[in-house]
Structure formats: structure tokens, C-alpha cells
Structure 1
Amino acid sequence: MAETKVTSMDVAVRAGVSQSAVSRVFTPGASASKKTVEKVRKAAAELGYRPNILARAMVSGKSRMIGLVVAYLENYFYPEALEKLSNALQAQGYHVLVFMASQTAVGIDAVVEEILDYQVDGIVFASVAMSSDIAERCEQAGVPVVLFNRYEDREGVTSVTSDNVAGGRKVADFLLAGGHSRIAYIAGWEGASTQRDREAGFLAGLRAAGADLFARGVGNFNLDQARNAARGMFDRPDRPDAVFVANDHMAFAVMDVIRFELGLSVPGDVSVVGYDDVPPAAWPAYDLTSVRQRANRMVEETVNALLSRIEDPDAVAGKIVIDGPLIVRGSARGANPHPGSEAIAQKGRNE
């Protein structure tokens, strides 16, 4: 015979409190005295009671769940940032459901439909490009959306990114100040706003100084493709003397090819600069100069923007852009035109 399920009324009787008091104890943000909380949780533990979150959501209209959509986790930046994002949302009393999606519209559409079936209160898209159809579908369902480390060129979509244009410009200024004359670029996935903006800022910086891009490859934020791009770019007599790689994930692969396959020196023969400032960038094996994405600030702004829109559906959407410093290390030679960078590096990576 199946055991009878323990109810909140059973807990209330055991604890000697009202059923509403039990409900308050298990409702994030609700008020209950310390004594009541202790009695209720003790009774719940003794009876093996667990609150029915889905049932509560049906009554309140709020699931206290957030959908988090991620396209890929190979880049070191995302596991770390998403852990911070999950912890920040949980601290606000929300449960986080993580969904993996491909970058194709069909794949993302399918994931969004599944997420909406869970009656989530909001969705964060990380490293995912969102179509207008998906944005409209979420809006019709009354589910606010925030893009993390991506943005869309349309009204009504909230996004949080680093200032990728300014970051690319800082790299150009730095390499030019170091006396480099054959400067190359290895692009990420060209459908990503981060890639487009980093390259746009980089090229603008070169043009402002009267310089041209010497060579260009495409790595698509993929290790194997980044390696192939590096081989084609550097296994030749007229190779670049510096390269800006669209993220650190690819920059590590590029450095490995330059040093271990082609026998060149970094930075003696080639200066390498990345973007993100992920933990391995500071490892002695890479010592990579990189533009830092301020993960803590980006997470804070994402959570604030999402909760604001959950609490007020009429809250104005906007693009939040966060500046990041150039962190100068040993992978690139030359003068540093941003004297604050090294001091910032000593404060910790994720300020």
C-alpha cells in the first residue's frame, strides 16, 4: 500500500501553527518569526514533508523559476559567469532551469517552447542569438527576457554586454603603440553581436591611426577552426607580427599553433591578444594579454534587469553596456596606452 502523502496541514498540526504559517515559511520572501520557522522546519523534517512548488505556482501565478538558455560551454567565460548568475538568482529566491540549445533557429525555438511549458517567470539567453519570432512568442506569454553577452538590434529587448566596440579599439591602440605594422584578426562566429562589435572597434582603431588590417581569419569560436586559421595565417614568410583573437578560448589554440607547431616565439615573433580574460589567461603557460569582461557586474545588471521586468512588465527595456579594461601580460610586446590596466589586474579578475 502506498504511503499517504504528507500535507502542509499535517506539518501545521505537528508544529502547532496555522497552515498559512507553514506556507509562509516555505515561500521565499514571506515573513515568519524565527521561532515559527524553527518549529515548522523541525516538524517538516520529522514528517518528511516537501512543499509542492508547482502547485503553489498554479495558485500564485508565479513559479519562482528562471529559464537559462546556453548555446555552448566550451568557452571558459560561460561556465564561470553562469555559475555566478545561477547563484545570484537563487539568492533572490528563484530556481534556475538550464537548457542547452544549438545556434540554429529551429533548435532555439524548440527549447523556448519547452521552457515556456514550465511556466517560468523569466528567461536569460546566454551566448544565444534570439530571433524576432522567439521574442514575440515570449512577449505573448508574458515572460520577460534578458540577453546575456549578446544584444539584438530591435526595440523592446533588454541586453547586458561588455563594451565590445571600445574593447576592440583598446586592442588596436595597444598593438599600434607597440610598433606593430602587420596586424591581423581572427574572428569568432560572425552571427554573434560580440564578434561584430569587437571587430568593428578594432578596425576603427586601426583606421584612426592610418593603418590597415594585414590579414584576417575566421575561427567561429571553435578550437579546431581557430587552429586552422592560425596555420593559414602564420605558416608563411609574410606572416603578421601581431594578432587580435576574438576571444581567449580561440587565442589559446592560436598560441599553441604558433609556438608548438610553427616554432615561433610569443611575443618575440608574434604578439597575441585575446578577449574575456578567463582564468587560464593568467596562467604562466599563456600569460595572455586580454580585454576583461567584468563578470560580476554583468551578472548583477542581468539579475536586476530581469527582476525589474518580472515585477513591472511595463519596465523599459534597454541595452546595458559595461566597459572592461585591457589586462596587459606577457603575450604581447610594446607600450601600454592604458596605464590603469595593470593596477586593475591586481584587484581580481571578476570585479
Structure 2
Amino acid sequence: MAEKVTSLKVAERAGVSQSAVSRVFTPGASVSKKTADKVRKAAAELGYRPNVLARAMVSGKSRIIGLVVAYLENYFYPEALEKLSNALQEKGYHVLVFMASQTAGNVDKVVEEILDYQVDGIVMASVAMSSDIAERCQQAGVPVVLFNRYEDREGVAAVTSDNFAGGRKAAEFLLAGGHQRIALIAGWEGASTQRDREAGFRSALSQAGQPVFARGKGEFKAEAARDAARSMFDVPPDQRPDAVFVANDHMAFSVMDVIRFELGLSIPGDVSVVGYDDVPPAAWLAYDLTTLRQRANLMVAETVATLMRLIETPDAAAPRKTALDCPLIVRGSARVPLGWTSEG
């Protein structure tokens, strides 16, 4: 087995101090270009790699961010998480991804495991956290930012789209299109995103004097959404909705497939469909889905900025909730009211 190359050997080869070698491989440390070039040349010749774990023990900073995600079936999350990982890496952090489920205690168990890695921060995408685990993270000095979810209690930072406003926009668009039997296929009841989208949707309908004509539950899952669509639309014409707001695009695609290919109905001739997220397939000609756009770039930028602020100035940076505007993207899956165009 080859002898391990140490920073001392790199320093001797480069003709610099061992501390200079350490500074070269420490993100953000001050070192001249001449010294950095000599050290990196010597390191390459010797095959040296810095011991990140040892440096973390000395500095108290691991430069690792734990990323918790519940599921990746929805197109929105792989794209957003890739952007999030890239943005954190640009800040000099490594990302550890942990999968969790929404079953009782599972998220808390995963976060406890993450804390064992001495992470500098945690981003939780599409999952909720208990008050116990929030307190545990606070005691450990590890900041947490929720991505595309929020908690009602204070003291937990979160970044979402403005889901209430998005739900209102969906209802207002369908009302302006002259629809009289407007339905909803909801997501998972435990998600703040679902609750706010439905609340905004109902608010606009109520203001116009219309009730929700029918409601189904899709749980943010493709098969559950298909079942909800079959129950909702496989009925006599006078009992069938003439429009439906589906709480995310992932479900909306399944709903559209059932409406068109199983039941033989026309979109938007018989039924208008509006989704939420604006994932890439929404723009495909096969779906051409009118939807609310979650601006992943802005959400990621705000999430990273919030996390960096909490890491770098923990005493000065109070956690806050940020809700970003979600523009309506008008396509061909819904009747377009006169004068309406996409907002972005």
C-alpha cells in the first residue's frame, strides 16, 4: 500500500509552510496566487488530497449541507434540487442527500442521522419537521431552511411560492373563462402548499359567489390523481365539472390522460384544466398545460441566501418566511378569456 501523502510533504515540495498548504485548500482563506500555484502543483505531483474531515474537526465547520427530500416523482424536484446543489457547491459546500417519507417519525429520524454528520446546515425540500426536531437542530446550532414548505410556528425559515395567490389566480382565470362548474383535485392534506393553494382557490370562488363544484384527492401522486379524475368525470354530462384546478402539474398530467384517453372528452372543449408548478412537460404539445409557475431559480437563490445568512450570522439573522410570486402561464389546456395572456 502506498504511503499516505501529508500536507507536510506538500509543504516541503512546494517550499512553503504547512499552514500555507492548509490555507490553499480552505475555501475563502487568504493566499497569494504565486503560493497557491506552487502548492497545487506540488499536490498534483504527489497525489495529495486534503483531509476534509480532519479540517472540519479543527475548524468546527464541515462545509456540508444536509438536503432532505421526500420524493422525486414530481418533475419540479429533480430540477430544483439540481439547481440547489449547484448553488451550494458554488458557495464551497458539499451536499449530502437523504430520502425521507412523510410517515410519522421518519423525517425526525432522518434529521437526527444528518446531525451525526456535523453538517453546517439543513435544507428540507417538500417535508415538514416536528417541533421536537426543530428544537434539536437549534440546540445543535444547525440552521434549517424549508424549501417549498413552511411551518405555522415562528422560528423556522422557509422559502415557497405564494401558493395562496396562485390558487386565487387559477380560480380567477377559470371564472373569467365563463366556467360554472369548477372543481378541484387536491394534493396531500398535510402539505402547507396544498392547504394554501386550496384556500386561495376557494377564496376567489367564494368572492364570485361560486362553490367548489366537486373535490377529489390526488395526494400529489399520479395514480391517486387518476382515480380522482375517474370518479369526478366518469358521470353524466350535467354532473361533470366543466373546469378543474389540479394542485400540481404531476397530477394534472394524469388527470388529462384520463379525461382524454379513457373517457374520450376534449380538453379544453369539454373540460378546462389548470395545474401548478410549470415543470418542463407542461410546455410539451402533448399537454400544453395552463399552469402557475414556481420560479425554481428564484426559490433556490433565496433558499441559499437565507441559509448562508443563518450560518454566517446566527445571532443577527432571524429566521423568516419568504413567499415568491407565481405567474400564470397561459397555454392551450384551458379556455382563454378575452385579453388574458401569460404573466411571465
What is the TM-score when the length of structure 2 is the normalising length? Answer: 0.97
Between the aligned partners of 1:226 and 1:26, the Cα distance in structure 2 is: 50
Identity across aligned pairs (percent)? 79
- On the 8 A contact 1:206/1:213 being kept in 2, the answer is yes
Between the aligned partners of 1:316 and 1:243, the Cα distance in structure 2 is: 40
- The C-alpha deviation readout for 1:294-320, integer Å capped at 9, x for no partner, is 111111110011110111122111110
- On the 8 A contact 1:179/1:334 being kept in 2, the answer is no
2:294 aligned residue: 293
- On the 8 A contact 1:70/1:125 being kept in 2, the answer is yes
Between the aligned partners of 2:60 and 2:336, the Cα distance in structure 1 is: 58
1:284 aligned residue: 285
Letter in 2 for 1:247: N
Letter in 2 for 1:277: D
Q: Displacement of 1:36 after TM fit? A: 1.8
- On the 8 A contact 2:330/2:342 being kept in 1, the answer is no
- On the 8 A contact 1:198/1:246 being kept in 2, the answer is yes
Q: 1:340 to 1:328 in 2, by over 3 A?
A: closer
Between the aligned partners of 2:57 and 2:232, the Cα distance in structure 1 is: 58
- The answer to whether 1:228 aligns with 2:230 is no
- On the 8 A contact 1:11/1:40 being kept in 2, the answer is yes
User: May I ask how many residue pairs the two structures share in their alignment?
Assistant: 341
Question: Please, which of 295, 319, 322 is the counterpart of residue 320 of structure 1?
Answer: 322
Letter in 1 for 2:191: A
Q: Displacement of 1:247 after TM fit? A: 0.1
Q: 1:80 to 1:26 in 2, by over 3 A?
A: same
Q: 1:268 to 1:124 in 2, by over 3 A?
A: same
2:101 aligned residue: 102
Between the aligned partners of 2:103 and 2:28, the Cα distance in structure 1 is: 38
- On the 8 A contact 1:138/1:144 being kept in 2, the answer is yes
Q: Displacement of 1:338 after TM fit? A: 5.5
1:162 aligned residue: 161
1:347 aligned residue: none
- The C-alpha deviation readout for 1:198-237, integer Å capped at 9, x for no partner, is 0000000000111111000000000000000000000001
Q: Displacement of 1:128 after TM fit? A: 0.3
- The answer to whether 1:188 aligns with 2:190 is no
Between the aligned partners of 2:15 and 2:121, the Cα distance in structure 1 is: 37
1:330 aligned residue: 332
Letter in 2 for 1:113: E
1:239 aligned residue: 240
Q: Secondary structure at the match of 1:146?
A: strand
Unaligned runs of 5+ in 1: 345-351
Between the aligned partners of 1:47 and 1:261, the Cα distance in structure 2 is: 65
Between the aligned partners of 2:319 and 2:209, the Cα distance in structure 1 is: 38
2:173 aligned residue: 174
Aligned alpha-carbon RMSD (Å)? 1.0
Q: Secondary structure at the match of 1:35?
A: helix
Q: Displacement of 1:187 after TM fit? A: 0.4
- The C-alpha deviation readout for 1:134-189, integer Å capped at 9, x for no partner, is 10111111100000000001110000000000000000000000000010000000
Residue range with higher mean Cα deviation, 31-40 or 190-199: 31-40
